[in-house]
């Protein structure tokens, strides 16, 4: 019964340990979301900055696998080049060593104090303040991590279990077998950090020698590539090359270290023992040395490795009809919600550009009667509709993840923003339909009517640029100006409507022209309303100008209110 109880305790401890790692990583990721976004905005062609970003992001989210999968998603979306992704992957291998160092602190006999963080964190998670709850999640995860280690340590102290583990590792003392164990074990639990943590525990209990553990560490660095390879299935060639580069990088690093560990095993163990007395520290810092050294050795050869990945995975032959897909958003980015949120915003901005371009072409068709771009406008409208539905589905998935209250509010706003932009796209398509009917009926506007329509459209186009700028950069100070412009559009609609009735009464305009004229100015007025909704979404999720005006922001003048429109 003691052995059964010990095995169950070992499994329970392993479960608590993994949950603690995830909670701590999720909490750090949520707290550092804006910082991660800023890091990725600084991505350039500089390999050193890429390594730094990869290391920083992985240290935050506590998983090189998650960083690599996210990088594959960004490559698949066309945000990162293969060269940039390769540098980030290298840095991720360094960042993942932070977890091992934290776990090695167990050797300092501070587990009791670290475990207390679980309760402290839970209490903090009941606070209303968002930042306090986030810190509580981090502390709870840290506490659970050490509780899991303590449970596994207690189980390992049962003589028969400890002896069984020792016998197993003595039986597979061959370095190649130990590397294989590391590969398989890491592929199963999908975390080289977790494997390193478990090795640190086993070495501390004396169940495995440091020399054997080092070979398993090499294997774990290869095994962690499996998840990224699976994530690359069905992705673009460059995304697949990123996963392959990850494998090549870790495989080459392991092959470089293997002969040194195999031939000079005793001197290496003696050196580690001299510098780091505790076996836990020896394994944790070897993990650091391995990844830093591998990165330093291979960083100068990043371009040849990228070319090798390109040679192995060739470009697909051009297909006749590419299926519609989002430009910036990728399912793999759901592993890191803060980055996914930023990419959704970029996708919405792209959708806005498409709608703006279509609106310009549709209005031009009305004034000139030129329908050459009719099919192009229809194609763009299909992309806008696809983007609308796809982003909406993506936002639903995002909302089910662990995200900050600020991002929750943004998700609500984004649902309304994409709806407003999609409706603007519909108006552009309606303009083309009107242009087609007008041409078929031989209807043209008078110079006065044309001038009025152009004046109203120019104001709407100016509003479009300002609204997107406000939404993109959260420029609260621009809302008052946009509100005033929307009132100008309302005034134009009323004035131009009266002017056109006057022209009808004077006989200078036909009734048929009048119906089209009124339809166009009504559409432009509704477009202005949608643009106001898009901009005011930064203050109020539903984009209501009236409700948004009541929300105070720092150093902002009161905003004039006009009737809220759909």
Q: Which of 281, 417, 245 is nearest to 347 (CA)?
A: 417
Residues 6+ apart with CB under 8 A from 282: 203, 210, 272, 273, 276
- What's the pLDDT at 292? 92
Written as six digits, the tokens of 288 are 């650091």
pLDDT at 554 over 70: no
In SS3 terms, 172-200 reads as CCCHHHHHHHHHHHHHHHCCHHHHHHHHH
CB-based contact 375:365 (threshold 8 Å): no
Confidence of residue 511 (pLDDT cuts 50, 70, 90): low
Lowest mean pLDDT among 43-47, 217-221, 386-390, 451-455: 43-47
Average pLDDT on 52-66 reads 79
Confidence of residue 507 (pLDDT cuts 50, 70, 90): low
Confidence of residue 147 (pLDDT cuts 50, 70, 90): confident
pLDDT at 397 over 60: yes
- CB atoms closer than 10 angstroms to residue 264: 12
Confidence of residue 517 (pLDDT cuts 50, 70, 90): confident
Confidence of residue 321 (pLDDT cuts 50, 70, 90): very low
Average pLDDT on 435-462 reads 88
pLDDT at 443 over 60: yes
Q: Which residue has the higher pLDDT, 252 or 23?
A: 252
The percent of residues above 70 in pLDDT, for the chain, comes to: 89
- What's the pLDDT at 157? 72
Give the model confidence (pLDDT) of 25-58 as tens digits: 777 777 666 666 666 666 666 788 888 888 888 8
Written as six digits, the tokens of 226 are 């499996």
The span from the CA of 30 to the CA of 425, in Å, is 34
pLDDT at 183 over 60: yes
- What's the pLDDT at 461? 93
Average pLDDT on 413-441 reads 91
Q: Which of 255, 271, 257 is nearest to 214 (CA)?
A: 257
Give the model confidence (pLDDT) of 253-286 as tens digits: 999 888 888 887 778 777 777 777 788 888 888 8
Give the model confidence (pLDDT) of 322-369 as tens digits: 577 888 888 888 877 888 888 899 999 999 999 999 999 999 998 888
- What's the pLDDT at 500? 77
- What's the pLDDT at 354? 94
The span from the CA of 267 to the CA of 105, in Å, is 25
The span from the CA of 75 to the CA of 310, in Å, is 14
- What's the pLDDT at 561? 39
Residues 6+ apart with CB under 8 A from 72: 85, 228, 231, 232, 235, 239, 242, 243, 332
- What's the pLDDT at 133? 82
Average pLDDT on 113-140 reads 84
The span from the CA of 563 to the CA of 551, in Å, is 16
Average pLDDT on 481-502 reads 89
Q: Which residue has the higher pLDDT, 39 or 401?
A: 401
Domains present along the chain, CATH in parentheses:
2-312 (no CATH), 331-549 (1.20.58.220)
pLDDT at 239 over 80: yes
Written as six digits, the tokens of 528 are 């202005």
Confidence of residue 566 (pLDDT cuts 50, 70, 90): very low
Average pLDDT on 534-553 reads 64
- What's the pLDDT at 430? 92
Average pLDDT on 397-416 reads 85
The span from the CA of 139 to the CA of 234, in Å, is 38
pLDDT at 201 over 50: yes
Lowest mean pLDDT among 44-48, 69-73, 226-230, 475-479: 44-48
The percent of residues above 90 in pLDDT, for the chain, comes to: 23
What is the overall mean pLDDT for the chain? Answer: 82
pLDDT at 79 over 50: yes
Q: Which residue has the higher pLDDT, 318 or 161?
A: 161
Residues 6+ apart with CB under 8 A from 354: 380, 383, 384, 387, 425
CA distances from 118 to 13, 23, 196, 263 (A): 15, 11, 22, 44
């Amino acid at each position: 019964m003691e052995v059964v109880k010990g095995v169950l305790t070992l499994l329970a401890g392993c479960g608590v340990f993994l949950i603690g790692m995830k909670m701590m990583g999720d909490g750090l990721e949520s707290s550092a979301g804006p910082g991660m976004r800023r890091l990725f905005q600084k991505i350039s062609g500089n390999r050193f900055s890429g390594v730094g970003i990869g290391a920083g992001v992985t240290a935050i989210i506590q998983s090189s696998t998650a960083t690599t999968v996210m990088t594959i998603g960004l490559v698949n979306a066309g945000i990162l080049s293969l060269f940039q992704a390769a540098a980030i992957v290298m840095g991720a291998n360094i960042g993942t060593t932070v977890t091992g160092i934290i776990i090695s602190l167990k050797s300092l006999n501070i587990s009791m104090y670290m475990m207390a963080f679980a309760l402290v964190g839970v209490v903090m998670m009941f606070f209303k303040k968002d930042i306090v709850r986030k810190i509580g999640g981090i502390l709870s995860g840290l506490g659970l991590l050490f509780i899991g280690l303590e449970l596994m340590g207690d189980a390992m102290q049962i003589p028969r279990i400890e002896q069984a583990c020792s016998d197993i590792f003595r039986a597979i003392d061959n370095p190649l077998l130990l590397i294989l164990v590391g590969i398989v074990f890491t592929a199963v639990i999908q975390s080289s950090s977790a494997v390193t943590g478990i090795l640190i525990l086993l070495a501390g209990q004396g169940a495995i020698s440091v020399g054997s553990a080092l070979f398993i560490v090499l294997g774990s660095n290869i095994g962690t590539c499996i998840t990224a390879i699976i994530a690359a299935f069905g992705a673009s060639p460059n995304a697949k090359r990123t996963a392959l580069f990850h494998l090549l990088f870790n495989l080459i690093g392991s092959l470089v270290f293997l002969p040194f560990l195999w031939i000079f095993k005793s001197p290496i163990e003696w050196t580690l023992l001299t510098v780091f007395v505790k076996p836990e520290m020896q394994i944790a810092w070897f993990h650091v040395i391995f990844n830093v050294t591998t990165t330093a050795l291979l960083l100068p050869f990043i371009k040849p490795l990228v070319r090798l990945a390109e040679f192995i995975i060739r470009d697909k032959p051009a297909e006749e009809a590419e299926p519609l897909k989002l430009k910036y958003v990728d399912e793999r980015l759901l592993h890191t919600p803060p980055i996914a949120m930023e990419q959704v915003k970029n996708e919405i901005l792209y959708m806005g550009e498409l709608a703006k371009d279509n609106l310009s072409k549709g209005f031009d068709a009305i004034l000139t009667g030129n329908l050459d771009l009719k099919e192009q406008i229809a194609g763009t409208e299909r992309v806008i509709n696809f983007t609308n539905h796809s982003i909406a589905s993506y936002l639903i998935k995002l909302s089910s993840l662990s995200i900050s209250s600020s991002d929750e509010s943004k998700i609500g706003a984004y649902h309304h923003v994409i709806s407003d932009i999609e409706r603007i796209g519909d108006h552009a398509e309606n303009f083309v339909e009107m242009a087609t009917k007008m041409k078929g009926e031989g209807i043209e506007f008078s110079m006065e009517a044309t001038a009025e329509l152009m004046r109203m459209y120019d104001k709407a186009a100016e509003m479009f640029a300002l609204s997107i700028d406000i939404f993109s950069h959260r420029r609260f100070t621009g809302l008052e100006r946009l509100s005033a412009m929307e009132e100008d559009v309302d005034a134009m609609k009323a004035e131009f409507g009266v002017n056109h009735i006057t022209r009808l009464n004077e006989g200078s305009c036909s009734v048929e022209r009048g119906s089209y004229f009124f339809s166009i100015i009504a559409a432009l007025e509704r477009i202005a309303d949608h643009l106001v909704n898009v901009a005011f979404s930064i203050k109020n999720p539903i984009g209501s100008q009236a409700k948004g005006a009541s929300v105070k922001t720092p150093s902002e003048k009161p905003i004039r209110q006009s009737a809220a429109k759909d």
